[in-house]
Amino acid sequence: MGLRTEVKVSWCPGCGNFGILRAFEKAAERLVDEGIPRGRIVVASGIGCHGKISDYLRLPSFHVIHGRVPPFLTGLKLANPDLIAVGFVGDGDGLNEGVEHLIHAARRNTDITIFLHNNNVFGLTTGQVTATSPKGAKGKSTPYGNPENPLNPCNLMLVSGATFVARAFAGKHSQLVEIMYSAIKHRGFSFVEILQPCVSFNDFWKIREEIHDIREAESVENALKLCRDKTACGIFYRKEEETFEDAVHRINK
Protein backbone atom coordinates (compact mmCIF):
# COMPACT_ATOMS: atom_id res chain seq x y z
CA MET A 1 0.00 0.00 0.00
CA GLY A 2 1.40 3.38 -1.03
CA LEU A 3 1.52 6.52 1.06
CA ARG A 4 -1.12 8.41 -0.95
CA THR A 5 -4.72 8.39 0.27
CA GLU A 6 -7.75 8.30 -2.02
CA VAL A 7 -8.58 11.95 -1.28
CA LYS A 8 -8.63 14.01 -4.48
CA VAL A 9 -5.78 16.53 -4.60
CA SER A 10 -7.42 19.94 -4.99
CA TRP A 11 -4.44 22.27 -5.43
CA CYS A 12 -4.37 24.48 -8.51
CA PRO A 13 -2.77 22.82 -11.57
CA GLY A 14 0.91 23.76 -11.59
CA CYS A 15 1.08 24.49 -7.85
CA GLY A 16 4.47 23.88 -6.27
CA ASN A 17 2.80 21.87 -3.53
CA PHE A 18 2.57 18.89 -5.88
CA GLY A 19 6.36 18.70 -5.99
CA ILE A 20 6.60 18.90 -2.21
CA LEU A 21 4.03 16.15 -1.72
CA ARG A 22 5.76 13.80 -4.15
CA ALA A 23 9.22 14.49 -2.71
CA PHE A 24 8.02 13.82 0.83
CA GLU A 25 6.40 10.57 -0.28
CA LYS A 26 9.76 9.47 -1.69
CA ALA A 27 11.61 10.46 1.49
CA ALA A 28 9.05 8.71 3.71
CA GLU A 29 9.15 5.59 1.54
CA ARG A 30 12.91 5.42 2.12
CA LEU A 31 12.32 5.49 5.87
CA VAL A 32 9.74 2.70 5.60
CA ASP A 33 12.12 0.66 3.42
CA GLU A 34 14.73 1.05 6.18
CA GLY A 35 12.35 -0.69 8.57
CA ILE A 36 10.66 2.26 10.26
CA PRO A 37 6.96 1.44 10.77
CA ARG A 38 4.78 3.99 9.00
CA GLY A 39 2.83 4.44 12.23
CA ARG A 40 5.92 6.09 13.76
CA ILE A 41 5.96 8.83 11.10
CA VAL A 42 3.51 11.51 12.24
CA VAL A 43 2.57 14.50 10.10
CA ALA A 44 1.02 17.82 11.13
CA SER A 45 0.07 20.73 8.87
CA GLY A 46 -1.19 24.23 9.50
CA ILE A 47 -3.67 26.59 7.87
CA GLY A 48 -3.30 27.51 4.20
CA CYS A 49 -3.05 25.74 0.86
CA HIS A 50 -0.15 23.66 2.17
CA GLY A 51 -2.37 22.33 4.98
CA LYS A 52 -4.17 19.93 2.67
CA ILE A 53 -1.03 17.80 2.48
CA SER A 54 -2.04 15.93 5.63
CA ASP A 55 -5.21 14.76 3.83
CA TYR A 56 -3.20 13.14 1.07
CA LEU A 57 -0.78 11.06 3.14
CA ARG A 58 -1.59 7.62 4.52
CA LEU A 59 0.19 8.39 7.77
CA PRO A 60 -0.95 9.46 11.25
CA SER A 61 -1.86 13.08 10.46
CA PHE A 62 -3.14 16.17 12.23
CA HIS A 63 -4.42 19.46 10.84
CA VAL A 64 -3.85 22.14 13.48
CA ILE A 65 -4.76 25.83 13.80
CA HIS A 66 -2.77 28.86 12.60
CA GLY A 67 0.90 28.76 13.55
CA ARG A 68 0.62 25.89 16.03
CA VAL A 69 2.42 23.07 14.20
CA PRO A 70 5.70 23.45 16.21
CA PRO A 71 4.12 23.39 19.71
CA PHE A 72 1.82 20.55 18.72
CA LEU A 73 4.74 18.44 17.53
CA THR A 74 6.80 19.43 20.60
CA GLY A 75 4.09 17.98 22.84
CA LEU A 76 3.89 14.90 20.64
CA LYS A 77 7.63 14.25 20.96
CA LEU A 78 7.65 14.81 24.71
CA ALA A 79 4.81 12.31 25.08
CA ASN A 80 6.44 9.74 22.78
CA PRO A 81 10.07 10.45 21.81
CA ASP A 82 10.11 7.42 19.49
CA LEU A 83 7.84 9.14 16.99
CA ILE A 84 9.23 10.86 13.90
CA ALA A 85 7.49 14.24 13.97
CA VAL A 86 7.19 16.13 10.68
CA GLY A 87 5.46 19.48 10.26
CA PHE A 88 4.37 21.37 7.16
CA VAL A 89 3.79 25.12 7.50
CA GLY A 90 3.20 27.99 5.09
CA ASP A 91 5.03 31.31 5.05
CA GLY A 92 1.91 33.06 6.34
CA ASP A 93 0.96 30.29 8.76
CA GLY A 94 4.48 29.78 10.07
CA LEU A 95 6.01 33.27 9.93
CA ASN A 96 3.06 35.58 10.51
CA GLU A 97 0.74 33.82 12.97
CA GLY A 98 3.31 31.30 14.20
CA VAL A 99 6.73 32.94 14.10
CA GLU A 100 7.17 32.86 17.88
CA HIS A 101 6.48 29.12 17.98
CA LEU A 102 9.10 28.46 15.30
CA ILE A 103 11.69 30.50 17.20
CA HIS A 104 11.06 28.70 20.49
CA ALA A 105 11.16 25.26 18.84
CA ALA A 106 14.49 26.18 17.22
CA ARG A 107 16.10 27.55 20.39
CA ARG A 108 15.02 24.44 22.34
CA ASN A 109 16.39 22.15 19.62
CA THR A 110 13.16 20.20 19.70
CA ASP A 111 13.58 16.96 17.73
CA ILE A 112 11.07 17.81 14.99
CA THR A 113 11.30 18.61 11.29
CA ILE A 114 9.61 21.67 9.80
CA PHE A 115 9.07 22.08 6.06
CA LEU A 116 8.13 25.67 5.18
CA HIS A 117 6.14 26.04 1.94
CA ASN A 118 7.24 29.53 0.94
CA ASN A 119 5.36 31.17 -1.93
CA ASN A 120 5.54 34.75 -0.59
CA VAL A 121 1.75 35.10 -0.44
CA PHE A 122 -1.39 34.17 1.48
CA GLY A 123 -2.68 32.07 -1.41
CA LEU A 124 -5.70 30.47 0.27
CA THR A 125 -7.18 33.84 1.23
CA THR A 126 -6.66 35.31 -2.26
CA GLY A 127 -3.30 36.99 -2.35
CA GLN A 128 -2.41 39.11 0.67
CA VAL A 129 1.27 39.69 1.45
CA THR A 130 3.05 37.63 4.09
CA ALA A 131 6.20 38.06 6.16
CA THR A 132 8.28 36.84 3.20
CA SER A 133 6.66 38.98 0.46
CA PRO A 134 9.11 41.33 -1.27
CA LYS A 135 9.01 45.01 -0.37
CA GLY A 136 6.82 46.77 -2.90
CA ALA A 137 4.76 43.68 -3.76
CA LYS A 138 1.16 44.49 -4.65
CA GLY A 139 -1.63 42.30 -3.33
CA LYS A 140 -5.16 42.39 -1.94
CA SER A 141 -3.93 43.91 1.32
CA THR A 142 -1.30 46.19 -0.27
CA PRO A 143 -2.70 47.63 -3.52
CA TYR A 144 -0.04 50.39 -3.49
CA GLY A 145 2.84 48.08 -2.62
CA ASN A 146 4.10 46.26 0.46
CA PRO A 147 5.81 48.78 2.80
CA GLU A 148 7.57 46.09 4.89
CA ASN A 149 10.95 44.42 4.53
CA PRO A 150 10.66 40.63 4.19
CA LEU A 151 11.99 38.06 6.63
CA ASN A 152 14.67 35.62 5.53
CA PRO A 153 13.39 32.34 7.04
CA CYS A 154 16.74 30.52 6.99
CA ASN A 155 18.57 33.42 8.61
CA LEU A 156 15.91 33.62 11.29
CA MET A 157 16.19 29.91 12.09
CA LEU A 158 20.00 29.99 12.16
CA VAL A 159 20.15 32.82 14.69
CA SER A 160 17.38 31.14 16.70
CA GLY A 161 19.50 28.03 17.24
CA ALA A 162 18.19 25.52 14.69
CA THR A 163 20.68 22.66 14.28
CA PHE A 164 19.72 21.82 10.67
CA VAL A 165 18.86 24.57 8.17
CA ALA A 166 18.38 24.13 4.43
CA ARG A 167 16.60 25.57 1.41
CA ALA A 168 15.24 23.73 -1.64
CA PHE A 169 13.04 24.37 -4.67
CA ALA A 170 9.78 22.50 -5.23
CA GLY A 171 10.66 21.99 -8.90
CA LYS A 172 14.05 20.35 -8.25
CA HIS A 173 12.82 16.91 -7.28
CA SER A 174 15.95 14.87 -6.60
CA GLN A 175 17.58 17.53 -4.43
CA LEU A 176 14.34 18.13 -2.53
CA VAL A 177 13.97 14.42 -1.74
CA GLU A 178 17.55 14.23 -0.43
CA ILE A 179 17.21 17.36 1.71
CA MET A 180 13.88 16.22 3.16
CA TYR A 181 15.31 12.80 3.98
CA SER A 182 18.43 14.33 5.62
CA ALA A 183 16.29 16.76 7.63
CA ILE A 184 14.08 13.98 8.98
CA LYS A 185 17.08 11.81 9.90
CA HIS A 186 18.75 14.66 11.81
CA ARG A 187 18.34 14.54 15.60
CA GLY A 188 17.30 18.01 16.67
CA PHE A 189 15.34 20.87 15.18
CA SER A 190 15.42 20.68 11.38
CA PHE A 191 14.13 23.49 9.20
CA VAL A 192 13.81 23.44 5.42
CA GLU A 193 12.55 26.44 3.47
CA ILE A 194 10.99 25.17 0.24
CA LEU A 195 10.53 27.75 -2.51
CA GLN A 196 7.01 26.87 -3.66
CA PRO A 197 5.49 28.65 -6.67
CA CYS A 198 1.88 29.84 -6.53
CA VAL A 199 0.46 29.90 -10.05
CA SER A 200 -2.51 32.04 -9.00
CA PHE A 201 -0.81 34.99 -7.35
CA ASN A 202 2.84 35.08 -8.39
CA ASP A 203 5.21 33.97 -11.12
CA PHE A 204 7.54 32.16 -8.77
CA TRP A 205 8.40 29.50 -11.34
CA LYS A 206 10.61 32.07 -13.04
CA ILE A 207 13.26 31.53 -10.34
CA ARG A 208 14.04 28.09 -11.79
CA GLU A 209 16.74 29.67 -13.92
CA GLU A 210 18.25 31.49 -10.92
CA ILE A 211 18.43 28.55 -8.49
CA HIS A 212 21.96 27.38 -7.73
CA ASP A 213 23.53 24.95 -5.28
CA ILE A 214 25.83 25.76 -2.38
CA ARG A 215 28.21 23.76 -0.21
CA GLU A 216 27.36 23.22 3.42
CA ALA A 217 28.96 25.78 5.73
CA GLU A 218 31.09 24.85 8.74
CA SER A 219 29.91 27.74 10.92
CA VAL A 220 26.71 29.64 11.58
CA GLU A 221 28.41 32.86 10.46
CA ASN A 222 29.26 31.42 7.04
CA ALA A 223 25.83 29.84 6.73
CA LEU A 224 24.21 33.21 7.37
CA LYS A 225 26.20 34.70 4.50
CA LEU A 226 25.18 31.87 2.16
CA CYS A 227 21.47 32.01 2.80
CA ARG A 228 21.24 35.77 2.26
CA ASP A 229 21.21 34.80 -1.41
CA LYS A 230 17.56 33.83 -1.73
CA THR A 231 18.18 31.64 -4.79
CA ALA A 232 20.87 29.55 -3.08
CA CYS A 233 19.74 25.99 -2.34
CA GLY A 234 21.21 23.16 -0.32
CA ILE A 235 21.98 22.36 3.31
CA PHE A 236 23.37 25.55 4.85
CA TYR A 237 24.37 24.20 8.24
CA ARG A 238 23.93 21.28 10.64
CA LYS A 239 25.39 20.20 13.95
CA GLU A 240 24.67 17.70 16.71
CA GLU A 241 23.50 19.03 20.08
CA GLU A 242 21.42 17.78 22.97
CA THR A 243 17.76 17.78 21.99
CA PHE A 244 14.98 19.34 24.06
CA GLU A 245 13.52 15.90 24.74
CA ASP A 246 16.87 14.55 25.95
CA ALA A 247 17.32 17.56 28.23
CA VAL A 248 13.85 17.17 29.73
CA HIS A 249 14.46 13.46 30.29
CA ARG A 250 17.85 14.14 31.90
CA ILE A 251 16.44 16.78 34.26
CA ASN A 252 13.47 14.64 35.27
CA LYS A 253 15.45 11.47 36.08
Distance between CA atoms of residues 62 and 82, nearest Å: 17
Residue-by-residue pLDDT tens, the chain, 253 positions: 689 999 999 999 989 999 999 999 999 999 999 999 999 999 999 999 999 999 999 999 999 999 999 999 999 999 999 999 999 999 999 999 999 999 999 999 999 999 999 999 988 888 899 999 999 988 888 999 999 999 999 999 999 999 999 999 999 999 999 999 999 999 999 999 999 989 888 877 788 889 999 999 999 999 999 999 999 999 999 999 999 999 998 898 7
Distance between CA atoms of residues 253 and 240, nearest Å: 22
Q: 114: part of which helix (H) or strand (E)?
A: strand 113-118
The residues facing 84 across adjacent strands are: 41
pTM of the full structure = 0.96
